[in-house]
Homo-oligomer: A and B are copies of this chain.
Amino acid sequence: MTQTPFHVVFAIFDQITQLDFTGPAQFLCRMPGAQVHVASATLDPVVTDVGFAIVPTTTFADCPQADLLCVPGGLGVAPALSDAQLINFVRNQASEAQWVTSVCTGAFILGRAGLLQGRRATTHWGYTGLLPMVGAVREDARTVFDGNVVTAGGVTSGIDFALTIIAELHGEDVARSLQLNFEYDPAPPFAGGTPATSPKPIVAMMRERFYDARAAEMEAALNATA
């Protein structure tokens, strides 16, 4: 079902939320036959939201065709929506990829490239209301499969998404062995992590202090002509 090597391509850009990329990259890189490529416009280091930079392994021009394409999200997505080089790379890669995927607000990059039209999709909980702007059918879930398009929710969802893809491609035993490899038996100190499971005052505070303004910025960027 899968050829070797299986090219996993992450498209990265300034101010990605680095865990959107580094979480799934950790799991997908150990998938049998996988080769991970980290592509950007140039080989210059890409600055992440944490402050440190990541050195791409290839450029958009030189990147091999992805078998699995993954676009992470972050505060860099709103400006990246008008980055024609990035959007064209994603659109071109997606046309031949076996799997077209995103984590967090990376979904809007897929959307801008026209890849979510009529698809069920998810994104970070703070932005799910904007999914119809790119033609997607909003679904509030941790991982959403619609055909060969797989979208994951916010940030840490990317880890569960990666394991789900690994199970799909290589079966349960391989996924379980990588879960053991990375000691993925999560034990968050508190219940929560979604608007439905977190205390209401915390959800309200996070919307007020952060997500309402950020969602408005994203909406403006989506409304702007690319």
Contact = CB atoms under 8 A, between A and B. Distances in A.
Interface string A152-195: 01111101100110010000110111011111111111101111
Interface string A177-221: 101111111111110111101110011011000100000000000
Contact of A182 (B154, B173, B190): B154
A6 to B, nearest CB: 14
Nearest to A10: B52
B185 A142 contact: yes
A52 B55 contact: yes
Contact of A194 (B156, B185, B210): B185
Interface in A43-88: 45, 49-57
Contact of A23 (B23, B38, B57, B188): B23
A125 interface: yes
